[in-house]
Structure 1
Amino acid sequence: MGRVCGGRAALAAGAALCVGAALCVVTALPGAAAAAGGPSPYVFADRALPVEGAKKSAGSASLTPGSTYKSSLARGGKFYYQLRLDATETVYVSATAVPGPDSRVVYGDGVEVSLQDASGNNCNSQDARFGTSQSPRPITAWAVREVGPAENRCKAAGTYYVVVERNTRPGSSTETWDTELRVVSEPGVAKGASTLPPDSWNSASPTPPAGERTERRGGTGYNDARALRAGVWGDRIEPGQTLFYRVPVDWGQQISASAELGSASGGRDEYVPAALVMSLSNPLRARVDEADTAYDGKQSTAALDPLAPVAYENRYSPIDGVTGTRVAGWYYLAVHLSPKVAGQFGKRPLDLTLRVGVDGSAKEGPAYAGTARPADLFSVSGRDEEAAERGETAAASGGGGDGTASGSGSGGGSVGRAAMRVVAASGFGAGALILVILGVWTLVGRRRAA
C-alpha cells in the first residue's frame, strides 16, 4: 500500500479511502440507489430470515412461530414450508406479496395461503386479490391452525405445511415478487372460555373525528408503519404509493377509520375507478375490512364499515368483519393511490386526511395459558399508547415484537455497519467488497496494536 501504511493517521485515511471507494462501487451496482435512499415499495423487517420455498412438501424449509422471513413468489408458483406444532397453540401464518411498482396486475391476480396437515387435509386457507383497482401494491393473505373446543381438525401435534400460491391471470407481469412471511403463535385459554360469537354490538356508522389535522408521514409497510391515536391526521400520497399506519386497539375497543383524498388542481374531466383503496388489518396481518373510492379531481372519501369491538369470541363468528377483530394490539391501515391518477391529474402528490376513531373503554383480555410468540402481541401497553401519542414508527418502538425495519438504523452505529448494510442491499455481486473493507480494517487494527 506504499505510504498509506506509514502511520496511524495514514492508516485511518487509507481505510476511509478504501471504504469510500467500495461504497462508490456499490452505489454504481444495480438497485443500489433505491437501497441507499430512494423510495422503496416495502420495507422488510431487519430480522427477517431468508428462506426459500420448496416446490413440494418433502424437504421444505422449516418455519418457527414468532419469526419473520423473507422469501419470493414466482408467477404461477406454489411453494411449501413446514411447521412443527404442539397441540396447545393456535398458529397464524401471513404472506405479504410485494410486486414491483411497475408490475402489471389484473383483477384476479393475488396470493393465497393454506395450512395443511401431514395427510394433506386443509386446516384453513385465505386469499388476497388486487381487485377492481388492478394496481400493484403490497397485499397480504393468511391462514390459521386453530386449537380450541370448537375445533375438530388439525388439533394434533405434528408436522404441518404452509402452502403459498401466486394466482395469476392473462395480462399480468411475469417477474418474481418478494414476500414476507410471518408466523405468530397464540396460546390457549383457560377452560370455560366462551365460544359464542357476539349476537349484538353497536353497528351504527360512527361519527368521524373533526378538527385540525396533524401531519404524520406514513410508512411503507407493517415494519415501519406510523403510529396514530384517535384523531385527524394529514399526509401526502403520490400516485402508485401505499402508506401504512398503525393504531393501538385494546380488548373491548372499537376502531373506525376513513381516508379523504383532497381535490386536484387542473386535470382532465374524467374519473379513475377505485383510485383510493384503504384496508384494515389486525395484529396478525389478517385483513379485517377494505374500502375504496373513485376520484374525479374533487375530494373523495373511502370509509370502513362499522366494526365489532375487539373480543376473543369474535373468532367464532361467521361474519368476516367480526372474526377479524379477534385480538387486541396494533391494527394497521394501508392506504393506496392508484398510479392511474397520474394519467388524469398529474404526478404531484395529493393531500390525504385520515380520520381515526377508537371508541369504548379497554377491558380485561382472555386468560391465556401461556405466552404469545412474539411476546406481548395481543395487548396494548402504556408504551404502545405513548408510541401512538408521539407518532413513532414500528421500527422505533420495536415493531410489536418483529424487530426493527430494514434500513431504519438505530443510531450510534459505525461506518462499518452502515457500509455492510448498503453492500448487503446491493446483492450477492457486492460480496467481494466486504472482504476488501474487512481486510483494511484488520490491517489498521494490527498496525495500531503494534
Structure 2
Amino acid sequence: MRRILVMSLLAALALGTTPARGEDATQVESKGKLVLLLDSSGSMKESSGGTTKIAAAKAALEDVVSQLPDNAQVGVRVFGAKVFSAKDKGACTDTQNVVPVGPVDRQGISKAIAGYKPYGETPIGNALKGAAKDLGAEGKRTIVLLSDGEPTCAPDPCKVAKNLRSQGIDLKINVVGLDVSGKARSALQCIARAGGGTYYGVNDPDDLASSLVSVSVRALRQFTLSGKPVVGGTSTADPLKLEPGRYTDTTQGKATSRYYSIAKPKNSDLVVSAVARPPYDSGTSNKLEVELLTADGQRCEADYAIRPNVLQDQSILSVGAIFSSRLPSTNDVCEAATSLLARVGLDALAQDPFELLVSTRPNIKDFATLPPALTSQQVRAAEGATFVPAGRPTPVVGGITFNDAPALKPGRYRDTLRPGEQLIYRIPASWGQRPRIRATLETDVQGAKELSMPGILAEVTMIAPTLHSLGRTGPNGGNFWDGERPVTLTGEGYELRARNIESTTTSIRAVSAAGDQYAVLSMAQPLGGDGSHFAAPVTISVDVVGKVTGEPAYAGKVKGAGEAVKKTADDSEEGSSVPWLPLGIGAAVVLLVAAGYALGRRGRPAA
C-alpha cells in the first residue's frame, strides 16, 4: 500500500520539474503550488494490512518528500488534529496549516509528518477552504487530499470543491482514499470530481507509497527544455554558428524559421534534432521541422512532425534529420560542403520555445564488416516474436520529458495514465539489441463509469535515439479503452545497427546511432461529453532482445548531444507525424476520422 500511495501523491502534484544538472533550462509551463492536506482523524489509528493507517501514511509521505522537485512550492495542512470529539467546541473547524506554502522545505515537511497523529473528527470541507487560502489567488494550484473516512462535519466538502472551481480559480483537487468503501469512498470520489481532479483508491498499505508518489510528484513537474539559450538567424543570410551541443531558442511566430550554421567535418555524419511542445490550440495545427541545406539553399535532408490538435492533446513534437555520405542517395554538393545550414521551423505562436540538439559522428573504420542494415521484412517479422513478461510489477512514474524519463530494464512495472497525458519511458539498449514494450490498461470502475462506447483512444509509439519517431510499431500500437476490459498496447523498437544508415527507410536509418530508445504512452482527451476524472491502471512489460554485438570503431569522438544525452522525437515512417493515428494517414483524414468519432459515439446500453 505504501508504494502505491506514494505514486498517487506524486501524480497529484502540479508544480515543476528540475532541469538537467549542469545545463541551462527554459521552462515552458508556469510554476504551480501544492498543499498536502492530511487526515489526522481518529480512524487513522486503525489497522490496515498488518500496520496502522497512520504508519503507512507517514512512511509514504516521507517517500514523497524525498522525490519532490527542488523548485517545488509546497505546503502542508492537517485536519482533525487538535479537537477530539464532535461534541467539543471547534471540532468542525479543526484544521491547521503546519507548513506554509513556499520553496520546498524538506526538513520542515518531515518534521510535520513526524508529528502527524490520529486524533479527532473529519472536517474536510473547512480543511479544503483553508488549503485554498494557503495556495493564494494566483498560478496553478493543487490540493492533494489523503483521507480514510467519510466527512463528519459541515460544510459538505463536495459542494466546497465545486464552489472553489466555479469561482474560476485555477485549482485542482486530487484525492487518495486509504482503505475506504461505501459512502466514504463515494464522498471522496465526489470531491475529486467536483474539484477537477482524480481519485485514487488504495486498499493495501504496501501500495500506499507508490500511489502518493504518482498523484503528487508527477503533477508537480513541469515540461522543460534544456540547453544553452541562443537566438538563431532569421534567414539564410544571417545564420547563427553552432558547435555540437544542446541549445534552446524561441520562434518568431507562425510561418517563420530560425537558421544555424554547423560545421560538417569531412567523412562525418551530422545529426540535428529538435523538440517542442506548443500550447494546445483547438483552432490550429502545429508543425515542427528541421531542414539541412547548403549555403545556397539546396536541400540535403529534412524531417518534420505535425500535431493537428483535433484530439485535444498537448503531445510533444520532435524531429531528427541526419546527413551522411553513406545515405542511399546523396547530393554531391551536400557531401562536398564543409558546413550546412539547419533551418528549424515551428508553426506556433511567437516566443514558443524549442530545444535543438546538434551532434557529429566520425567515420567508422570497420563499417564494411558490421551487420548489414535491417530490412523492412526483418522489422515486420520481429514484431510477431513471442513476448513473455515475468516478475511482479514494481511502481514507476513515467516522465513528461525525455530528460526525466525513467530507465526501464527488462521486467514489469506499474503506473497510471490519465486523459490528455503523455508518459515517456527510456529503454536502454546497445548495439545489436532491440527494445520491446507491452502496456496493458487494466479495468477501472471509475473509467468505465465515465466513458461511453467505444471508450478513449490510447497508444504506444517508439522513439529512436536521433529523436525520430518510429511511430506505432507493434501489432496493436493504438486502441480504444473503456475501463470495462483490459487492453494491451504494443511497441517494438528496432535493432541498433550502425549500417542502418544505408537503409532506404527513414525510420530504420534513425536507429543507426548509439543511444537509448523511448516508449511514449499516450491517452487522448475524452470526446462526446465523456468524463475525465479517472486514472487508468497500467501494467508495463519491457524486454530487450539480442546480445550486444556490432559495436562500430569510430575514427574519432562523437561530439555534441549524440551518444550520451537523452533525446526525443515524435514523427512517422517517412518524415511526418500525426500523433494518435496510424502511420501514413494525412491530417485531412485525421480531421474526418475525429469528426466521425465524435459524432458516432453512443452510450453504453443499460445493464
The TM-score, its normalising length taken from structure 2, stands at: 0.51
Alignment equivalent of 2:263, drawn from 74, 80, 84: 84
2:458 corresponds to: 276
DSSP-derived class of the 1:44 partner: strand
DSSP-derived class of the 1:269 partner: coil
2:296 corresponds to: 119
- CA displacement, residues 153-178 of structure 1 (integer Å, 9 cap, x when unaligned): 3223433211122347xxxxx57532
Instruction: List aligned pairs for 1:84-163, cutoff 5 A.
Output: 84-100=263-279, 102-104=280-282, 109-130=286-307, 133=311, 135-148=313-326, 151-153=330-332, 154-163=334-343
CA distance in 2, matches of 1:221, 1:234: 19
1:447 corresponds to: none
CA displacement at 1:345 relative to structure 2 = 4.0
DSSP-derived class of the 1:220 partner: coil
CA contact (8 A) 1:209 1:232 kept: no
Which sits farther off after the overlay, 114-123 or 232-241?
A: 232-241
2:237 corresponds to: 58
CA distance in 1, matches of 2:221, 2:351: 16
CA distance in 2, matches of 1:89, 1:293: 41
Q: Partner letter of residue 354 of structure 1? A: I
CA displacement at 1:90 relative to structure 2 = 0.8
CA displacement at 1:307 relative to structure 2 = 4.8
DSSP-derived class of the 1:223 partner: coil
1:192 to 1:317, Cα distance in 2 relative to 1, 3 A = closer
Structure 2 residue runs of 5 or longer lacking an equivalent are 1-99, 105-134, 143-216, 568-607
CA distance in 1, matches of 2:542, 2:527: 25
Q: Partner letter of residue 397 of structure 2? A: R
CA distance in 2, matches of 1:280, 1:105: 28
CA distance in 2, matches of 1:308, 1:323: 10
CA displacement at 1:263 relative to structure 2 = 2.7
Q: Partner letter of residue 370 of structure 1? A: G
CA contact (8 A) 2:327 2:503 kept: no
CA distance in 2, matches of 1:367, 1:164: 32
Instruction: List aligned pairs for 1:49-448, cutoff 5 A.
Output: 49-72=228-251, 74-100=253-279, 102-104=280-282, 109-130=286-307, 133=311, 135-148=313-326, 151-153=330-332, 154-167=334-347, 174=349, 177-190=352-365, 193=368, 197-199=373-375, 201=378, 202-211=381-390, 212-265=392-445, 266-272=449-455, 275-290=457-472, 291-298=477-484, 299-304=486-491, 306-340=492-526, 344-374=530-560, 378=563, 400-401=564-565
CA contact (8 A) 2:465 2:511 kept: no
CA contact (8 A) 1:79 1:164 kept: yes
CA distance in 1, matches of 2:273, 2:450: 39
Q: Partner letter of residue 356 of structure 1? A: V
CA distance in 1, matches of 2:269, 2:254: 30
CA distance in 1, matches of 2:545, 2:250: 38
CA distance in 2, matches of 1:255, 1:360: 9
- CA displacement, residues 393-436 of structure 1 (integer Å, 9 cap, x when unaligned): xxxxxxx3469xxxxxxxxxxxxxxxxxxxxxxxxxxxxxxxxx
2:147 corresponds to: none
CA contact (8 A) 1:105 1:135 kept: no
DSSP-derived class of the 2:343 partner: strand
CA distance in 1, matches of 2:314, 2:266: 39
1:75 to 1:336, Cα distance in 2 relative to 1, 3 A = farther
1:43 to 1:353, Cα distance in 2 relative to 1, 3 A = farther
- CA displacement, residues 99-128 of structure 1 (integer Å, 9 cap, x when unaligned): 23x43376x632111111112111111111
DSSP-derived class of the 1:115 partner: strand
Larger Rg: 2
1:301 to 1:90, Cα distance in 2 relative to 1, 3 A = same
Which sits farther off after the overlay, 230-239 or 80-89?
A: 80-89
CA distance in 1, matches of 2:350, 2:441: 31
CA distance in 2, matches of 1:320, 1:401: 22
CA distance in 1, matches of 2:325, 2:278: 33
CA distance in 1, matches of 2:478, 2:559: 33
CA displacement at 1:140 relative to structure 2 = 0.4
DSSP-derived class of the 1:315 partner: helix
- CA displacement, residues 131-170 of structure 1 (integer Å, 9 cap, x when unaligned): 67452211101212213485443223433211122347xx
Q: Partner letter of residue 418 of structure 2? A: E
1:73 to 1:353, Cα distance in 2 relative to 1, 3 A = farther
CA distance in 2, matches of 1:29, 1:63: 43
Alignment of 1:44 onto 2:229? no
DSSP-derived class of the 1:164 partner: strand
1:397 corresponds to: none
CA distance in 2, matches of 1:184, 1:163: 15
CA distance in 2, matches of 1:76, 1:33: 35
Q: Partner letter of residue 130 of structure 1? A: R
CA distance in 2, matches of 1:148, 1:40: 41
1:262 to 1:178, Cα distance in 2 relative to 1, 3 A = farther
CA displacement at 1:247 relative to structure 2 = 1.0
The aligned length equals 347
CA distance in 1, matches of 2:268, 2:139: 41
CA contact (8 A) 2:411 2:541 kept: yes
1:192 to 1:347, Cα distance in 2 relative to 1, 3 A = closer
CA distance in 2, matches of 1:158, 1:31: 49
CA distance in 2, matches of 1:70, 1:220: 20
1:73 to 1:360, Cα distance in 2 relative to 1, 3 A = farther
Q: Partner letter of residue 399 of structure 2? A: G
Identity of aligned pairs, percent?
A: 22
CA displacement at 1:56 relative to structure 2 = 1.1
CA distance in 2, matches of 1:234, 1:203: 25
CA distance in 2, matches of 1:337, 1:278: 9
CA distance in 2, matches of 1:82, 1:183: 11
Q: Partner letter of residue 180 of structure 1? A: E
1:340 to 1:70, Cα distance in 2 relative to 1, 3 A = farther
CA distance in 2, matches of 1:58, 1:235: 49
CA displacement at 1:185 relative to structure 2 = 1.6
CA displacement at 1:256 relative to structure 2 = 1.4
- CA displacement, residues 184-241 of structure 1 (integer Å, 9 cap, x when unaligned): 2212111652695345645251333424211111111111110111122111122222
Q: Partner letter of residue 373 of structure 2? A: P
Structure 1 residue runs of 5 or longer lacking an equivalent are 1-19, 169-173, 379-399, 404-450
DSSP-derived class of the 2:291 partner: strand
CA distance in 2, matches of 1:260, 1:343: 25
DSSP-derived class of the 2:245 partner: coil
Aligned CA RMSD, in angstroms, stands at 3.4
Q: Partner letter of residue 129 of structure 1? A: I
CA displacement at 1:79 relative to structure 2 = 2.4
DSSP-derived class of the 2:501 partner: helix
CA contact (8 A) 1:250 1:328 kept: yes
1:149 to 1:344, Cα distance in 2 relative to 1, 3 A = closer
Q: Partner letter of residue 452 of structure 2? A: D
The TM-score, its normalising length taken from structure 1, stands at: 0.68
CA distance in 1, matches of 2:342, 2:327: 23
CA distance in 1, matches of 2:343, 2:396: 37
